[in-house]
Amino acid sequence: MLSGLRANTITLTPDSDNPYELARRTLLRALAAVTVPRAGNLDHVADHIREVASICDGWIGSIGHQVSDLAAVPLDYRVFDGPFSEIVEGNATYVAECAVAAASVERRVA
């Protein structure tokens, strides 16, 4: 479970021309800037999941460009186009939104 983990320092390779390192730096900076929902509140969890998935989509897209550029054979780049968002949308986001709806009904009944 990740809840007990704390990352106080992340080492980023400065001024690297390595496109994979650039993608990693971009990913880590974007993830570090994400606003995390308040504990015990489900209202913004689905949006949080979407935001993180979108950031990861950007990272995998950058990696995909490198793979595509360096491959000796033609590739179907679409596999690098938004796979994280495709995975969570309607799955994890749906469950999170159902939990919000159920909590709302429960509050109204109580």
The tens digit of pLDDT for each residue in 36-75 reads 999 989 999 999 999 999 999 999 999 999 999 999 998 8
Q: What is the residue type of 8? A: N
What is the largest distance, in Å, between two alpha-carbon atoms of the chain? 63
Separation in Å, CA 88 to CA 27, 34, 38, 49, 85: 18, 17, 20, 7, 5
The tens digit of pLDDT for each residue in 5-35 reads 566 666 676 778 899 999 999 999 999 999 9
pTM of this prediction?
Answer: 0.82
